[in-house]
Amino acid sequence: MNAAQFLTIFISAVFLYNVILSRFLGLCSFIAISKETKPALAMSLSVMFVTTMSSIITWFIYRFLLIPFGLTYLRTISFILVIATFVQFVEMVTRKISPPMYRFFGIYLPLITVNCAVLGVAVLNSDMFFVNAKSMPGSFYYSTFQGICVGLGYTLAMLLMSGIRERLDLCNIPKAVKDFPLAFIIASIMSLSFLGFNGFKF
Amino acid sequence: MKKYFNEFLKGIIRENPTFVLALGLCPTLAVSVSVINGIGMGIAATFVLLGSNIIISLLKNFIPDRIRIPCFIVVIATFVTITEMTMKAYNPVLNRALGIYVPLIVVNCIVLGRAEAYAQKSSVINSLFDGLGMGVGFTLALILISGIREFLGAGTLLGYSLVKGFEPAFVLGMPSGALLVIGLLLGFFNILKARKV
């Protein structure tokens, strides 16, 4: 476990292999909720929270349940079930404890259950930090950090996109590409500019 | 018979999951680098759709309404695991090319969307044809997108080079090319839709 490894994870998760612009995870929510900055921010923060927590939870499940009993082929089923349950649980807790916070974040939580980014980061962690069904030293910290970084990458793309789309409201756009098609074309140009980070080498 | 044929046909054009309903775009964009990958992903998703639609419509009277989503997800995840293990055993090259997008079929909105919108209130045979049609529609959309990307981005189709002296634009093989192609195709289908009405 060293600082360089953490830096590599950060750069690759946020810039090089940005969840949305390069891995295409969580694209549906990205296109649907990026019309204005405020809901976009709320959604991104909830995604960041859930990716971090699900990285932690799925690490424990993979390391202490699936690997010892030789059940790694049950990875998909167990991860998605645990994530869905966890998200439901968080939704119930926020609704009970803090209604204002529920109004701000809670409405996005059901959407996050089927957000590919959340399951994607869990699967990615178990692919990257477990070699031959054995956990790498420090894999818990790497997984957690990758969860945070994927959330950060999502937030970055979401904020950029919502800022651009707010300004687009004032423009005269051809009717055929209004809304979704245009959002994809903008995302394409953003993804092209993110390619510039490919020069980063350590 | 004609009724079943209609159920099948609707997924291909009128309610095409990719271009009309705009569902399940994540895997569409990620795997459409080459036609072979697109076909592989399409077949895998079709199998999952078919299996989950049949099982869910069989179980529709036993699944309590309040916990239906987790139940659907378990059924879908089971079929995804079957697909994943089969692919690993018989076509490891394709499995490596599709990578994490095979387990991610679980969260593909098309599968859950069909379970929720169709299979849980329709008969088994209707659901079977619906799943088959949606799967074929998804596969055709994947072939279209990956065909454009592979031809313009690498100058080949299914690995065979077609035109001599054609200088491919590599950007179409990259992630940004995928977003550009789907954006323009959606715009094109919008024009077609506006014409028809």
Contact at CB, B107 and A27, closer than 8 angstroms: no
The pairing of strands A134-135 and A130-131 is: antiparallel
Phi and psi for A185 in degrees, rounded to 5? -65, -40
The reported pLDDT for the residue numbered A147 is: 92
The Cα-based distances of A83 to A55, A110, B65, B100 in angstroms read: 10, 11, 20, 17
Which residues in chain B touch residue A187, judged by CB atoms under 8 angstroms apart? 179, 183
The reported pLDDT for the residue numbered B53 is: 92
The reported pLDDT for the residue numbered A149 is: 93
Nearest to B31 by CA among B184, B183, B175, B186: B175
The reported pLDDT for the residue numbered A117 is: 84
Give me the residue spans of the domains in chain A: 33-169
Nearest to B103 by CA among B49, B46, B27: B27
Which residues in chain B touch residue A124, judged by CB atoms under 8 angstroms apart? 100
Contact at CB, A26 and B175, closer than 8 angstroms: no
Give me the residue spans of the domains in chain B: 2-196
The reported pLDDT for the residue numbered A1 is: 65
Q: Do the interacting molecules here have an ipTM over 0.85?
A: no
A85 touches chain B (CB under 8 A): yes
The reported pLDDT for the residue numbered A200 is: 64
Q: What is the pLDDT of residues B133-192, one digit of tens each?
A: 999 999 999 999 999 988 888 877 887 877 777 777 888 888 888 889 988 988 888 888
Q: What is the pLDDT of residues A148-177, one digit of tens each?
A: 999 999 999 999 999 998 888 888 888 878
Q: What is the pLDDT of residues A88-114, one digit of tens each?
A: 888 888 888 878 777 777 667 777 777
Nearest to A23 by CA among A105, A111, A128: A128
How far is A32 from B94, CA to CA, in rounded Å? 31
Percent of all residues in chain A with a pLDDT value above 90, rounded to a whole number: 14
A177 touches chain B (CB under 8 A): yes
Say how many residues make up chain A.
Answer: 202
Taking the model in full, what pTM does it have? Answer: 0.86
Q: What is the pLDDT of residues B52-66, one digit of tens each?
A: 999 999 988 888 887
Cβ atoms of residues B52 and B87 within 8 Å:
no
- Min Cα separation A91/chain B (Å): 15
Q: What is the pLDDT of residues B21-30, one digit of tens each?
A: 777 777 888 8
Q: What is the pLDDT of residues A117-141, one digit of tens each?
A: 888 888 888 888 888 777 778 888 9
Which residues in chain B touch residue A26, judged by CB atoms under 8 angstroms apart? 26
- B residues 85-144 lying closer than 8 A (beta carbon) to A: 85, 100, 103-104, 106-109, 112
Contact at CB, A177 and B190, closer than 8 angstroms: yes
How far is B160 from B182, CA to CA, in rounded Å? 24
